[in-house]
């Protein structure tokens, strides 16, 4: 099953969050979203929108040295930021499988430990443009995410 990436251009942090909300509204237990993009591209900003869309009301920007934040929404949302990961062992200790049994995972810097994540996932590349412009490319890997991207195309934008 293949599906072309969904490409969305945003012009502010709020627009990126709005796109995140649409994703969050569709997330189910077991879903995995891997975010790619350079430092400051907008991955955390997108995650915030995803959390809100999943029904999280208390989103706090927490210390960056914490690898996992859990937010209670319609389902638990686990926000992982592996930027400061220096021991692969640490990520094995995090218990990705257990998190996916409970809720959905959104991961920044998954490239630090690519082998610990299931192959099926939604990949989102955040590409900075001129000024506040960002291009978000959402690419599905696996049947579940092909469906998710289809739903995302069809879902109303607000
Ligand atoms: N269109 C946009 N989309 C997202 N963020 C934007 C946009 N325009 C400006 N910004 C700003 O860019 C910054 C993005 O920071 P953010 O922490 O989300 O990046 P990040 O990719 O998570 O960085 P890091 O790799 O350090 O974790 C914020 O200050 C945000 O307000
Ligand atoms: Mg970040």
Query: What CATH number has the domain bearing residue 79?
Result: 3.40.50.300
- Ligand 1 atom closest to Cα of 133? 1
Domain assignment of residue 57, yes or no: yes
64 lines ligand 1 (CB under 6 A): no
- Ligand 1 atom closest to Cα of 81? 27
Q: Which domain holds residue 136?
A: 6-154
3-state SS string for 142-157: CHHHHHHHHHHHHCCC
The two three-digit tokens of residue 117, written as one number: 């994540």
Number of folded domains that form the chain: 1
Domain assignment of residue 78, yes or no: yes
pTM (predicted TM-score): 0.94
User: Which of 45, 79, 131 to mutate for ligand 1's pocket (most ligand atoms within 8 Å of CB)?
Assistant: 45
Domain assignment of residue 11, yes or no: yes
Dist CA 73 CA 64 (whole Å): 21
Domain assignment of residue 33, yes or no: yes
Domain assignment of residue 56, yes or no: yes
Q: Does the structure show a pLDDT above 80 at 61?
A: no
43 lines ligand 1 (CB under 6 A): yes
Contact 27, 147 (CB under 8 A): no
Domain assignment of residue 1, yes or no: no
State pLDDT tens for residues 6-53: 999 999 999 999 999 999 999 999 999 999 999 999 999 999 999 999
């Amino acid at each position: 099953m293949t599906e072309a990436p969904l490409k969305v251009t945003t012009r502010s942090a709020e627009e990126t969050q709005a796109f995140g909300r649409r994703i969050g509204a569709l997330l189910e237990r077991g879903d995995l979203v891997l975010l790619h993009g350079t430092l400051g591209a907008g991955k955390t900003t997108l995650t915030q929108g995803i959390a809100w869309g999943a029904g999280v009301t208390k989103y706090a920007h927490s210390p960056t040295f914490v690898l996992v934040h859990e937010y209670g929404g319609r389902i638990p949302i686990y926000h992982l930021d592996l930027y400061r990961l220096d021991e692969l062992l640490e990520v094995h200790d995090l218990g990705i499988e257990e998190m996916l049994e409970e809720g959905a995972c959104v991961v920044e810097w998954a490239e630090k430990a690519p082998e610990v994540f299931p192959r099926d996932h939604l990949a989102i590349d955040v590409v900075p443009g001129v000024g506040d412009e960002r291009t978000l490319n959402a690419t599905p890997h696996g049947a579940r995410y092909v469906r998710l991207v289809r739903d995302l195309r069809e879902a109303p934008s607000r």
